[in-house]
Amino acid sequence: MLGHSKMTTAGFDVAIVGAGVVGAACALECARAGLRVIVLDRDPIGGGTTGAGMGHLVVMDDSEAQFALTRFSCSLWNERGVELPPEVEYQKCGTIWVAADEVEMAEVHRKQDFYSSRGVAVEVLDYRQLAEAEPNLREGLVGGLLVRDDSVLYPPCATRFLIEKAQQQGAVLRLNSTVASLGSHGPVLSDGSVVSAGITVNAAGISSPQLVAGIEVQPRKGHLLITDRYPGFLNHQVVELGYLKRAHSVTSDSVAFNVQPRKNGQILIGSSRQYGNREKGIDALLLRQMIRQATEYMPELKNLSTIRAWTGFRPATRDNLPFIGPHPNNENICLATGHEGLGITTSLATAELLVDQLLKRPSKIPYEPYLPGRSGERRADA
């Protein structure tokens, strides 16, 4: 689509709306490809969903398309790991999926087959190995699955790093710019001015449906809690397997045990999911449920001091897959949105797949499953 009539001489080749992790990754990929790119945001870098999230880089297995995207993106992060500055707090700590009973242990073995047959390094832990890996887990758990190459990072700093790298390669960043709509010649700002661009990328996350008609992205509220520093308390990102059963429920509020070690010894405690709740405030009842769930798995968490709790909104799609590619009804507009709780993980792959489509380059994984016009957006886990 670029390189033809859409290429403008006066303005930018690409205008990206949204300086979250997805917009930042897209900006860098565009700049690396030699495109003239501008990033616009009303708020600071990573000030929306990005800054509210945990920063778990995780290979998921809930559908082949989700697996392909998360795996490709995790490999991109791991390649880039060495060049990430210390403030990004990148740490290849691995994920442990915890099985509380025999049914969940069967799921551990199913996951082991799934991952290992696709070349992902995993290891089944029995109850003893689990206790050794995470001594603060309660007794009586059955086992778990360790996914070695999963990692964690601090999303706002990772996003700033991507933006700065893009700027070094010529990208322009304009914050405090509220985009009112997406015109056919580029984004229209709230003061009526137009940022002239051949292609506009809607990377506005939960705000993306307000900028363009015809896409369904719903905010899915989450709570997080962070403790003071307790180095050595937790070694891996640890997630209960029950999480998978509940996290994708579209109908009800849910909480799940999901904890993450930060490099400085702080521990992030999650998680919750709520549909149809647009209140930014903390839901004390749900927070209490979340803490109860966490202390059920890790009783010693009760004795740690927490210093802050907050909420955020994940941009969710109906089939749990993001939208990456041209808008079905307007080829001047591309989408890079709807990443739900996986935007940090899948940002780098999203950027590659988007620029592959813009430049008609061959892509490393098929991009069709993430096209905005995909058939009926049926649930991917069906």
Tell me which stretch binds other proteins (CB under 8 A): 67-75, 287-295, 302-310, 325-333.
Answer: 302-310
95 DSSP β-pair partners: 147, 237
H or E element: which one contains 144?
A: strand 143-147
d(CA 58, CA 319): 18
Of 177 and 260, which CB lies nearer to other proteins in the complex structure? 260
For CA atoms 328, 329, 334, 335, the dihedral sign is negative
Query: For the chain, how many helices (H) and strands (E)?
Result: 10, 18
Q: Indicate whether 230 belongs to the interface with other proteins (CB under 8 A).
A: yes
Window of 82-90, 211-219, 223-231, 253-261 that interacts with other proteins by CB under 8 A = 223-231
CB of 105 to other proteins, least distance (A): 34
Picking from 282, 272, 266, 271, the residue whose alpha carbon sits closest to that of residue 227 is: 266
E runs forming strands in 169-322: 172-174, 179-183, 186-189, 197-202, 218-227, 237-240, 254-261, 267-275, 306-316
| Closer residue to other proteins in complex, CB, 125/301 | 301
Which of 117, 176, 305, 375 is the binder for other proteins (CB under 8 A)?
A: 305
Among 9, 252, 303, 375, binds other proteins (CB under 8 A): 303
SS3 string, 245-257, reads: HHHCCCCCCEEEE
Piece of 117-125, 213-221, 222-230, 251-259 that binds other proteins (CB under 8 A):
222-230
- Kind of pairing, strands 254-261 and 267-275? antiparallel
Question: Min. distance of Cβ 264 from other proteins in angstroms?
Answer: 6
- Cβ atoms of 58 and 122 within 8 Å: the answer is no
Residue 125 β-bridge partners = 144
Q: How many residues does the chain have?
A: 382
- Quote the least distance from Cβ 294 to other proteins, whole Å: 18
How many residues lie near other proteins (CB under 8 A)? 7
- From 49-57, 111-119, 193-201, 298-306, give the range in contact with other proteins by CB under 8 A: 298-306
- 375 is a site residue for other proteins (CB under 8 A): no
Among the candidate windows 95-103, 297-305, 335-343, 344-352, which touches other proteins by CB under 8 A? Answer: 297-305
Q: Using CB under 8 A, which of the segments 27-35, 74-82, 303-311, 341-349 binds other proteins?
A: 303-311
Q: What is the nearest approach in angstroms of other proteins to the Cβ of residue 290?
A: 21
Q: 100: phi > 0 → left, psi -120 to 50 → alpha, else beta; which? A: alpha
Identify the residue among 126, 228, 331, 368 touching other proteins (CB under 8 A): 228
Let me know: does 268 contact 276? Beta carbons within 8 Å: no
Closer by beta carbon to other proteins, 253 or else 300: 300
Site for other proteins in 248-287 (CB under 8 A): 264
Q: Does 86 bind other proteins (CB under 8 A)?
A: no
* List of residues contacting other proteins (CB under 8 A): 228-230, 264, 303-305
